[in-house]
Structure 1
Amino acid sequence: MANKAATMRRRSPMRVLTLTTNEEAPFMTQQIEALSDRGVETTVLAVPGDPTSTGGRSPVDYLRFLTHVRNTLDPSYDLVHAHYGLVAPAALCQRRVPVVLSLWGSDLNGSIAPLSRVCARHCEEVIVMSSTMARELDVDAHVVPDGIDLSTFAPRDRDEARSAVGWTEPGYDVLFPYAPSRSVKNYPRAERIVETVGDRFREPVRLRTISGVPHDRMPTYMAAADALLLTSRSEGSPNAVKEAMACELPVVSTPVGDVPSRLADVEPAVVAESDRALSNGLEEVLRSDRRSNGRRAVQSLSLDRTTDAVYEVYLRALGTRESPSDRNAVTADMRHE
């Protein structure tokens, strides 16, 4: 990665219009805050409508958003950063400033994948969360996983954490850090696996579903839990897994996104496809009663380092790099093959 002295050769401040489907996404808000320390002023526009309603957002909501973007984008902005494939068309409805597109993972799967791929071809720069995602595109992409605030996500005293979250009864607590309504996370499978494992223990094995809590509370839940269970159908580079690693919480997961490579050298940890293998792995983790060595494996994903990588992408989009290098070299050290 280019050193910080090189990245400072730019006009200041840089103004960015960020488009998103979720203005409260913790990894995005953390990134924006970290970018502000590098002289980047960000305005966030979110698609109107309620994504949690029965019908979700409608095509009309996205058409309204397109108009809102065009009306907001005045000459003071340097570039547009579209977070998620569904907002890429709104970013590309203008050609006055360059567009950086960040794909989150689910936007390269299912019905919106073709839209994401087409839009990626017309953006100046594209950011993806994993090498697997990069291979799904027919354009070059920067591999920049979301960074982790290692000062916030760190090991804590388990007894104190259990007391703080009220998990004081005997037994085992398996953390599922998503809303059950998010179908891609496959909550019914998590329930099934924990129920199977619970039949093998004398003490209760509880599935703890945590969502909608302040992000800075999650390290306490991770310290209190015995394992994190990820049963997602698809992912890019799931933050919950990296945050659990930083907290030394063992992870049991399906082989989605970059999880297999992230957990390759982590113990205890289990990556498996079948219900049987996931159940056996979770049982083994719970019986071991050990924390993982995952924190060492995520040191390269500190928020500071990944923010530097995103900042470099901005500079490339603006054409201010004095000696542009190969796109993939910018974030090569963010990868974990």
Structure 2
Amino acid sequence: MHVLTLTTNADAPFMNQQMSELERRGVSFTTLPISGEASDVTSRSPVDYLRTLPKVLTEAGNNYDLIHAHYGLTAPIALSQLRTPVVLSLWGSDVHGPTKPVSSACAPLCDDVIVMSEEMREELGRDCRVIPDGVDLEQFQPDSQERARERVGWDDTGDAYQVLFPYRPGRTVKNFPRAERVASAAERLLDRPIDLRVVHEVDHETVPDYMNAADALLLTSRSEGSPNSVKEAMACNLPVVATDVGDVRERLADVEPSYVGATDAELVEGLVDVLRREERSNGRDAAREVSIERTTDRILEVYERVSGTTVEPPREPATIE
């Protein structure tokens, strides 16, 4: 099976991990990113999307089995060609944010739509597939906190609690000022200081080290789909304190110690409790439900149904004895 991928972020680790797993199952990909650049303070302009349109129309003529459009704003471009079926994956902000009208208008025209949580499906207001991004349980697994702290350079922190905030502070939706407020308030209730560790733009291969080095992960987002940092923390048995966004409450339902709250006071209470307990969580057991192998199975079912093509897994090379 041959798939044309359209994306606003060709470097998204969760998308690339899923594609790599699909390639191991026999799917091949060509990726076309949207023209232009975006940052915390600037977005792509309509001109950037228009500049991408001719490339998509030309590339779509190369006998792909389907087009997988990632993020709602890529959907109009994917639908501009009329021959190849389109699968649309929505990431969260394209359902909860200002681009929702585009996603809502295009979703009924696509052959199938994938969202990351039941909350997103309800917000979109139509039937679609709920498939969270998968977590690689081989890459993300528990390790010695002492060794992990040596690897990330946190081995000289005294007795301070290490609380991980794994996002760029400038991303408004992640609400870093709230994380600072919660950490500061929690510190005043504890007999030890808190180091709020902002970790971003590091190699994805090193993220498990930060998860294992930390005492808790703090997520204060205003909205999410299915935050990968929560699932990655679970896979490393790192306790999570988070706002009630996306599928966080569902993921953490049976995870101890962890905490989901709505108000600052609830988040502070949860963070204090988690840190005082000084325990790793049982999150890895719950993370198996969203392993990358399971989510790939479900995406492959969508691909085969939409394209009418059955994927043949690659044959193992013959061995000569």
Structure 1 position 110, deviation (Å): 2.0
Q: Which moved more, 1:68-77 or 1:84-93?
A: 68-77
Structure 1 position 280, deviation (Å): 1.1
> What is the match of residue 113 of structure 2?
126
User: Separation in 1 of the partners of 2:180 and 2:93?
Assistant: 22
Tell me if 1:36 matches 2:28.
no
The TM-score normalised by the length of structure 2 is 0.93
Indicate which of 38, 49, 53 corresponds to 1:66.
53
Q: 1:1-337 to 2 correspondence within 5 Å? A: 14-52=1-39, 54-168=41-155, 169-170=157-158, 171-320=160-309
User: Separation in 2 of the partners of 1:279 and 1:162?
Assistant: 25
User: Separation in 2 of the partners of 1:192 and 1:54?
Assistant: 23
User: Separation in 2 of the partners of 1:58 and 1:244?
Assistant: 35
Task: Give the secondary structure class of the aligned counterpart of 1:206.
Answer: strand
Closer/same/farther in 2, CA of residues 54 and 104 from structure 1, 3 Å limit: closer
After superposition, the C-alpha distances for 1:182-218 in whole angstroms (9 at most, x for unaligned) are 1100011001111111222333201101111111111
The TM-score normalised by the length of structure 1 is 0.89
Q: Is the 8 A contact 2:115 2:128 kept in 1?
A: yes
* Structure 2 segments unaligned to the other structure (5+ residues): 311-321
User: Separation in 2 of the partners of 1:174 and 1:152?
Assistant: 21
Q: Which moved more, 1:133-142 or 1:233-242?
A: 133-142
Q: Is the 8 A contact 2:96 2:123 kept in 1?
A: no
Which letter does structure 2 place at the counterpart of 1:280? E
Structure 1 position 310, deviation (Å): 0.5
User: Separation in 2 of the partners of 1:66 and 1:29?
Assistant: 23
Structure 1 position 53, deviation (Å): 6.8
User: Separation in 1 of the partners of 2:190 and 2:253?
Assistant: 28
Which letter does structure 1 place at the counterpart of 2:228? N
Q: Which moved more, 1:195-204 or 1:150-159?
A: 195-204
After superposition, the C-alpha distances for 1:206-240 in whole angstroms (9 at most, x for unaligned) are 11011111111110000000000000000011010
After superposition, the C-alpha distances for 1:79-109 in whole angstroms (9 at most, x for unaligned) are 1000110111111111110000001111101
Q: Which moved more, 1:53-62 or 1:138-147?
A: 53-62
Matched residue pairs, number?
308
* Structure 1 segments unaligned to the other structure (5+ residues): 1-13, 322-337
Task: Give the secondary structure class of the aligned counterpart of 2:109.
Answer: coil
User: Separation in 1 of the partners of 2:224 and 2:287?
Assistant: 18
Closer/same/farther in 2, CA of residues 308 and 64 from structure 1, 3 Å limit: same
User: Separation in 1 of the partners of 2:173 and 2:218?
Assistant: 14
Task: Give the secondary structure class of the aligned counterpart of 1:111.
Answer: coil
User: Separation in 2 of the partners of 1:131 and 1:57?
Assistant: 28
User: Separation in 1 of the partners of 2:119 and 2:95?
Assistant: 10
User: Separation in 1 of the partners of 2:256 and 2:40?
Assistant: 40
